[in-house]
Amino acid sequence: MTADDRGVHLLAYTERLGGDLAGVRALLREGPLAVFTGVHLLPFFVPFDGDDAGFDPVDHATVDPRLGTWDDVRALAADGAHVTADLIVNHVSADSAEFRDWLTRGAESPADGMFLTYDAVFPDGAGEAEITAFYRPRLGLPFTPYQRADGTRRLVWTTFMPTQVDLDVHHPAARAYLRRTLRTLADGGVSTVRLDAVGYAVKTPGTDSFMTARTLAFVEEITALARAEGLQVLVEVHAHHTQQAAIAPLVDLVYDFALPPLLLHGLATGEVARLAHWLTIRPRNAITVLDTHDGIGVIDAGPSGDRPGLLSTEEMAAVFAEAERRTAGRSALASTTPAWAAMPHQINATFFSVLGEDPVAYLLARAVQLFVPGRPQLYYVGLLAGTDDMDRFARTGQGREVNRHAYDAAELAAALAGEVTRAQLGLVALRTRHPAFGGTFAAREAGPGRLVLGWDDGAGASAVLTVDLAPDAPAFAIEVAGGPEGAARYGSVVDLAALADGGAAAR
C-alpha cells in the first residue's frame, strides 16, 4: 500500500462545500479538513450548474469563472493534495461549441462525425428488439431528434438526458477532443481522472452495450491516452461484481460499489457472511465509498442475467424496503427505476438518513469503509452527516439532489462542529497517520454478526476493528497499538470525536 493509499480523499462539489475553489483550498490547507490527503472535485467546468450538475460540459477545458481558474486547481496540487477530476467520456452538452457548429455546418464542420447518430450504429436500420436491447439508466429510449441548419433531421444518441449528446468515441474528431481534454486536466494539476459513464460509451448492436468486450477494449485505449499525459485512471462502473473484477486490471483504480449494500444488508439482518466473502474477492485497487453524488449503489451487489449476485434479488429488494422504512418513505420517492428494470439501481438518500440517523450504525459503517484495503473516499454530505434534502428534490425534480445539499457558511460551520462529523474526522486521522495501515490486512468472522478487520505492520503497530451487526443494536470497537497514541481503544462516537479534537495529522 502506498502512502497515498493510506490517506483519505474527499469527494465534493466545489460550490456546495466551499463556495469556490479558493474556499475548498482553505478548508483542506489550514481548516478542519486538512487531514484529507486528496480531493475529487466534481465537475467545475463551464458550466458547473448545467442540466446535470456539471456532467454536461459546454466547455470541458475551462474552469467556470464563478469558481476560479486553473491556477486555483494547481494551487491545491501545490499544497500537496492529490486532485481527481472527471473526464466525461460518453457525452458533452448540446450547447457545446462543437455540437452547435455541427448543427450549423454539417459535413463542413470539423466536428462532423464526433457525435453518435442513430445510423452510425444501425446503418441498415434496426427493429424493436435491437433498439430495446440497449441498457439505459433512465426511462425511455436513448435518442433525441435534432434539426440541423439545412433542415435535415438526425437522431442523436443521448444515453442520459436529451441535452447530453453522446460522442462517437472511435471517431478521430472525438478522440482528438478527448486527448485535448486530458492534456488540459494534466496541465491543470489533476493527478487522477475518473472516466465518467465509460460503461455506456461503446454501442454494439446485438448486445445491451453495457460493459461489453468492446467497452473493455476502449477502456484500455483511453487509459493509455491518459497515462501518456501522466494521469492515473479511475473507472466508474455500476455493474455486476465480476465486471468490476474484469476491468480492475486494466486501470489504476475502480470503485468498490458493492460494499455499501452489503453493509446495509448486514446491519438490517445481522448476517456478515456475504460481507466477509466479498472482502476475500474484491479488487484491491479500489476506491471505497459509502455514498457518492449519485446515491447509494445497490445493483452492484445483485445478480445479472444468469450470474448470481452477492445478494439475491429478494435481498436487494429488502435493502430498498429497509431504506424506505428508515427514511419514512423519502428514498422511495426520490429513487428512479431505469427502463426495463424491476427496481432502482441506486438509493437516492443520504447514507446517514438510510441508517435512520443512528450515529453508532453510521460510524460502524464508516469504520468498516476506512479499514478495508483501498483508497477511502468520503462524500462531503456524508462527512457532514447530512440528511435528505427534500426541498432541493422538490425544486429540481431530480432524485439525486436529495444527497447534494449546498452548504452556506453557517451550515458548514455547524456541521463541522457536530459530533458525528468530528468522529468521522477522527477515523480519517487514524487511517491517515497510523503505521499499521502500511502493513498487511486480514479479516475474519468472529461469531454471529461479528466481523474483525485488522492491520499489522510487523513491527509492533496494529489496528483492529471489531463490529457487531446486531439489528437495532450495532456496536464497534477499535483497538490500536504502536502508533502515535500508543495503546488505545475507541468504542463510541464520543471516543472518535475526541480523537479528532486532539488534532489532525499534517499532510
Give the residue numbers marked as catalytic: 196, 236
Lookup result for grid cell 486532539: 502
Rounded to the nearest angstrom, the gap between the alpha carbon of residue 276 and the centroid of all alpha carbons in its chain is 23
Lookup result for grid cell 480492475: 248
Residue pair 334/348 in contact by the 8 Å Cβ criterion: yes
- Name the CA radius of gyration of the chain, rounded: 23
Residue pair 281/372 in contact by the 8 Å Cβ criterion: no
**In 140-211, alpha helices (H):** 172-187
Cell numbers standing for residue 427: 477515523
Residue pair 319/302 in contact by the 8 Å Cβ criterion: no
Task: Indicate the angle between helix axes 213-228 and 172-187, nearest 10 degrees.
Answer: 40
Cβ contacts of 82 within 8 Å, gap of 6 or more: 4, 7, 9, 37, 38, 39, 191, 192
Pairing of strands 475-483, 164-166: unpaired
Residue pair 327/349 in contact by the 8 Å Cβ criterion: yes
Cβ contacts of 116 within 8 Å, gap of 6 or more: 156, 157, 165, 166, 167, 168, 203
Task: Please state, in angstroms and rounded to a whole number, the distance separating the CA atoms of residues 22 and 80.
Answer: 15
Rounded to the nearest angstrom, the gap between the alpha carbon of residue 503 and the centroid of all alpha carbons in its chain is 28
Q: Which of 74-99 are b and which e, b meaning 16 or more Cβ less than 10 Å from the residue's Cβ? A: ebbbeeebbbbbbbbbbbbbbbbebb
CA-CA distances (angstroms) from residue 158 to 56, 179, 199, 406? 11, 22, 14, 28
Rounded to the nearest angstrom, the gap between the alpha carbon of residue 180 and the centroid of all alpha carbons in its chain is 24
Task: Please state, in angstroms and rounded to a whole number, the distance separating the CA atoms of residues 238 and 477.
Answer: 32
Number of neighbouring beta carbons within 10 Å of residue 73: 26
Task: Please state, in angstroms and rounded to a whole number, the distance separating the CA atoms of residues 161 and 163.
Answer: 5
Task: Please state, in angstroms and rounded to a whole number, the distance separating the CA atoms of residues 26 and 34.
Answer: 9
The secondary structure element, H or E, covering residue 278 is helix 273-281
